[in-house]
Amino acid sequence: MENSLRLVLINSRIGISQKFKFNLTCFSIILFVLFVGFLSVSVHRYVSKTLSIAITNTTIDDVVQVEEEFSEESSVSIVIKKGDTLNAILKTQNLPNSDINKILKLIKSNSINIPIKQGKSIVFDYEIQIIETDDHDLSEEIRILKKIIIPIDNTKHLEIIKDNDNFIAQNIHIKLNKLLAKSSVVIGRNFMSALKSIGLTTNSIIELVNSYSYQIDFQRQIQPTDTATVILEKFTTKDGDFSHYGKILYASLNLSGREYNIYRYSNNNNHSFFSENGKSVKRSLLRTPVNLVRISSNYGNRMHPTLGYSKMHKGVDFAAPSGTPIYAAGNGVITSIGWKPGYGNFVQIKHSSTLSTAYAHASKFAKSLKAGSLVKQGQVIAYVGSTGRTTGAHLHYEVKIDGKHVNPMSIKTTPGTELVGKQLMRFRQFKKEIHNLSTKLDKNIELVENNTNSVD
C-alpha cells in the first residue's frame, strides 16, 4: 500500500514537471512570434516613411529624366522601288503631314536635287522613348524622328535633321579609301552582262566599248571564250566595306589569242585611253555609232525590203532595240535635224569641209539639239527607232566624203593624238608600272593607289 502511494506521488511529480516544460516552451514561442511581428511592423513603417519622403521630394522633371533613361535609337531603311517618290516614301513612315510639307518645302526652296534611284536606300533615324502608362504594368513606345539620310551619289548624302519644329539640310561628304583592284571575266554570250558580273557600272562599260570601237568590231570579232581584264579604282568605307568602283586605269581584251590593251594616261592634263604604241584610241570617226549591235544590212546594191526592187544601199544598217543610244561618230556641227521622207527622224553632222555623217530612223532626238549645235565624238544625239520607211528598229548610218557616199566600214581613220619624244618615253615607263602593278594584284593584294600619271 505504501509502495503504491509512493509510486503515485512520483508519477504525479513527473507529470507536473513535463507540463511545466511544455508551458514554458509554448510561452517562448509566443514571445518569439510577438518579437518578429513587432520588428516587421517597425521595418515596414520605416521603409514606407523613407519612400514617402523620397517620392515627395522628387519633381516632375526628375520623373521625366528617369523615363528618358529608357530611350534608345532605331533606324528604318527604305529601299527605293521603281516609281517611288520622296513624298510617297515619307508617308510610309506615318509622319505628320505638317512635317512632310516642311521637308518638301525645304528641299524645293534650297533647289536640292535628290536623285531617287531604284535600289538605293533612304534611312530614317528615330529616338525611341518608352513611357510608363497610368496602368503601371504597361508601357508605351513613342518614335521621335531625328534625321533622314538620303543618298546623292557614291561620295555624298543629304541629311535632313529635325530641329525643334523645323528641319535643316546638310550635305555630308563620305570619306572613302581608294584602292586598286584587278578583275577578269570570260565574255560568254554578252559583253555587257559579263562586265556587269564583276561589278562594272553601265557607264564604265559604255566607256570601254566606245574606246575599243575604233579598233574592234564587237559584232564579228568577239567570241564566247574571249576574256576581258581590267585594273580599276576601288573605293571602300573607313570600316573596309565596299562602296563602288571608280575609273578603269587599264583594260585588256583577249580575242582569239590576240590582246588589245589600252591605258588611261594623262597627256597635258587630258586623260584618255592610249594603245600599246602610244596612240590615242580616239580616232577621226567611231567605227560604229551604236553599242553592241549587229549589222543587218551592208553598204551596196540590195533588194530593198519595202520597195521590193534592187536599190543602192548608201549606208550600213545596225539592228538594235528601240531606244538604244546613237552617238556622234566624231566632233562636228549639226547641219540638219528633223523629219526627212523615207529616213524618218534624221540627223546630219558636218565634221570637216569634206566629211559628214548621217543617222536615220531614230525614235527621238537628244534634248536641246538643233541645227547649228556643236557635238562631241561619243555624245548621244538620238535613239534607235523605226521611223520612216523601215521594217523594224535599226540605225541607218551614212558617211559622205566630198559630197559622195562611201562605205562607212571601209574608212581608214587616224588617231586623235600620237605621243612622241619625252611624252612617249614617260608613257612607256607608265606602262611598265601598270604591268608591275598587275603582277602584284594577281596575288590578290589590293593596293592603296599612289599618285600615278593615270589618275585625275
Handedness of CA 220, 223, 226, 227 (dihedral sign): positive
pLDDT value of residue 285: 81
End-to-end CA distance of the chain: 135
Residue pair 397/259 in contact by the 8 Å Cβ criterion: no
Q: Which of 154, 173, 192 is the last residue of a domain?
A: 173
Inter-residue contact 305 to 280 (CB < 8 Å): no
Q: What would the grid cell of residue 249 be?
A: 586605269
CA gap 248, 453 in Å, rounded: 13
- Kindly state whether residue 2 falls inside one of the protein's structural domains: no
CA angle 89, 93, 99 (to 5 degrees): 90
Tell whether 89 and 185 lie within a shared domain.
no
Per DSSP, the residues of 424-441 read: HHHHHHHHHHHHHHHHHH
Note whether residue 46 is domain-resident. Answer: no
What pLDDT is recorded for position 101? 93
Residues 406, 299, single domain; the answer is yes
**What phi and psi values does residue 164 have, to the nearest 5 degrees?**
55, -115
Residue 429 domain-assigned (yes or no): no
If asked whether residues 275 and 369 sit together in one domain, one would say: no
Alpha carbon distance 98, 147 (integer Å): 16
CATH number where 353 lies: 2.70.70.10
In a domain, 321, yes or no: yes
- What is the SS3 assignment for 52? helix
pLDDT-flagged residues of the chain (< 50): 1, 4-5, 7-10, 14, 16, 43, 47-70, 302, 304-305, 307-309, 450-456
How far CA 99 is from CA of 114, 121, 125, 186, 328, in Å, comes to: 18, 20, 15, 52, 47
Mark whether 397 and 301 lie in a shared domain.
yes
Determine the residue type at 209.
V
Same domain, yes or no: 135 and 204: no
Count: domains in the chain: 3
CA distance 411 to 358: 15
Domain contains 5: no
CB 435 within 8 A of CB 357: no
Cβ neighbors of 8 (< 8 A, separation 6 or more) are none
Strands (E), 80-120: none
* Residue 70 neighbours by CB under 8 Å, 6+ apart: 129, 130, 131
Question: Mind giving me the DSSP string for 391-453?
Answer: SSSEEEEEEEETTEEE-GGGPPP-BS-B--HHHHHHHHHHHHHHHHHHHHHTTT-PEEP---T
Q: What is the pLDDT at residue 302?
A: 47
d(CA 204, CA 260): 17
| Whether residues 234 and 186 fall in one domain | yes
Q: The domain containing residue 162 runs over which residues?
A: 67-173
Instruction: Report how far residue 222's alpha carbon sits from residue 220's, in angstroms, rounded to the nearest whole number.
Output: 6
pLDDT value for 5: 45
Q: Which of 119, 153, 173 is the last residue of a domain?
A: 173
Contacts of 258 (CB under 8 A, 6+ apart): none
The pLDDT score that the predictor gives to residue 36 is 56
Q: Is residue 16 part of a domain?
A: no
Q: Are 290 and 327 in contact (CB under 8 A)?
A: yes
Tell me: do 183 and 217 sit in the same domain.
yes
Give the pLDDT confidence score for residue 48 in this predicted structure: 47
- Chosen domain end from 139, 173, 207: 173
pLDDT for 70-110, tens place per residue?
456 688 999 999 889 999 999 999 899 999 999 999 988 88
Whole-model pTM: value is 0.58
Please report whether residue 40 resides in a domain.
no
Rounded to 5 degrees, φ, ψ at 428 are -65, -40
The closest of 407, 353, 349 to 378, measured between CA atoms, is 349
Give the per-residue pLDDT at 135.
Answer: 61
Q: What is the CA radius of gyration of the chain?
A: 42
What SS3 state is found at 308? coil
Domain holding 190: CATH number? 3.10.450.350
- Tell me the CA distances in angstroms from 323 to 261, 290, 316, 384, one per residue in order: 31, 11, 18, 5
Question: Is there a single domain that holds both residue 167 and residue 84?
Answer: yes
Where b means 16+ CB within 10 Å and e means fewer, 39-78 reads eeeeeeeeeeeeeeeeeeeeeeeeeeeeeeeeeeeeeeeb
Who's near 299: CB < 8 A, 6+ residues apart? Answer: 313, 314, 315, 316, 407, 408, 409, 410
Pair (202, 235) in one structural domain? yes
Residue 48 lies inside a defined structural domain of this protein:
no
Task: Indicate if 74 and 158 belong to the same structural domain.
Answer: yes
pLDDT, position 214: 74
